[in-house]
Each structure stands twice: as structure tokens, then as C-alpha cells.
Amino acid sequence: MLKSAEEIVELTERWGFLPFFRNSVRGFSIEENTPADLWFSDRDGPWEWKGPCIRSGRVLYGKFFGSKAGYVSLEWFPDLANYRRDGYDFDSRYDSGMASVRDLNVVDTVSRYGTLLSKKLKSLCGYGRGGEKGFDGVITRLQMQTYVCISDFEYMRDKYGNQYGWGVARYSTPENMFGYDAITSAYSREPEESKARIFNHIKVLFPHAAEKDILKLIK
């Protein structure tokens, strides 16, 4: 059972991938491996541990699993990026007509500033009242394609300095966080080879999982 941010980081490094929510592979999630009294409680739990996990510098966090959140280790993220990007850096994807102007606007803005809170990113990209719509779809797609990730969460504080409410996501790019060479180190492999490596790795961890259920999670 996961009882601290450090244990989440350690399990992510051991498994390579750690979805936040239960999914098509039974047992492969933080939700299924956290004591019930920590899932939603007055004590810190997985929701509050997200920031410390990310700040450890040992994992990446974002909507990487079926458009839902989770962690990926530094060891395995290059293969995930190689597979999901299918051989395209973002600029080449856009130049090939495979990404929209709205996608380009978000990636360029995040890259230019390094990191941005979601509210600021929306404002700079023209989302909000009377402006563009569909930000959640764009930012989720870019995370699934591994071009954008979440670099931290920030909380509102009351007049006594106590944090409250849900954490506000701060976005960045994996390259900004860990360097271009580290993130693209699997580019020497064909994307399908990276896919096979990920699939086989998860199959070893969860031999009971059906092929279709693993593919559903990593596609």
C-alpha cells in the first residue's frame, strides 16, 4: 500500500509506469494501491503528493494513460515519447499537417515561457470568456502525445498561510524539465520497437492482463 510521495516515486521507478486511476489492467494504479483512508481524507494523500512526486526530479506526470493522469519514470519516458510522437518532434508534426494551429499556440507558448500555470496559459493563448474554447481537449491531447507535461501544482492560501482547494496545474515540456537529449534518447529506435518494449515490460509486471487491455492503456 502506498503511504507517501516517496513510495509513489519508488513504485513508478520500479514499474516504469504508474496510472493514477484504475484502468483496463487490474492492479495497475495508485487508486488500487492506496489505503482507502488516504484517498480522500483530511490527511495528505495521493492528491497532495503529486507536487512532491514531480519535484523529486525522478518522474514525469501528466495525462499519459487513456487521457487520464499518471506517472512515468525517467527511464521509460523516452520510449513512451518515441512511440507516442511516432518519429515527429512537434514542429515536424505541425509542418506535416498533423497538428492544429491551436496545438501549436499552446506548445509555442509553454516553450517560450518555460513553465506556466494553467490559468495564465489559457489567458496567453486566448481561451476564456469571449475567446477560444476547448482548452482541456488541446492540453490533454498534447500530454497524451508527450509534448507537454505537468511540472508542479500550486495551491491557494488563506490569510493564515494555509493552503486550500485543488492544486492548480503548472505546465511545461518534458524537454524543458529534463533536457532534449534525455527525452529523445529512444529516437534511435523505431516507434513500434518502443511500443513493443513498453508492452512486453507491462506484460511481465502483470502477466494476467490481456493483450487488448495493455494496448488500450498505452495506445
Read off the pLDDT of residues 118-152 as tens digits, 9 standing for 90 and up.
999 999 999 988 888 999 999 999 999 999 999 99
pLDDT at residue 93 greater than cutoff 90: yes
pLDDT at residue 157 greater than cutoff 80: no
User: Are 3 and 186 a contacting pair, CB within 8 Å?
Assistant: no
> What is the spatial distance between Cα 99 and Cα 79, in angstroms, rounded to a whole number?
21
Higher pLDDT, 157 or 33: 33
Range of the domain at 209: 5-218
Grid cell in block for residue 71: 506517472
> What is the spatial distance between Cα 177 and Cα 192, in angstroms, rounded to a whole number?
26
> What is the spatial distance between Cα 80 and Cα 59, in angstroms, rounded to a whole number?
13
Mean pLDDT of 100-121: 97
For CA atoms 153, 102, 112, 97, give the dihedral sign: positive
Q: Is 79 left (phi over 0), alpha (psi -120 to 50) or beta?
A: alpha
pLDDT at residue 98 greater than cutoff 90: yes
Mean pLDDT of 27-39: 93
Give the pLDDT score at 31: 96
Please tell me the total count of domains within the chain. Answer: 1
Residue 164: pLDDT band with limits 50, 70, 90: low
pLDDT at residue 39 greater than cutoff 90: no
pLDDT at residue 158 greater than cutoff 80: no
Mean pLDDT of 54-80: 98
Enter the DSSP assignment of 2. Answer: -
Question: Strand order of the sheet with strand 17-19?
Answer: 17-19, 68-73, 59-65, 149-157, 163-172, 116-117
Enter the DSSP assignment of 33. Answer: G
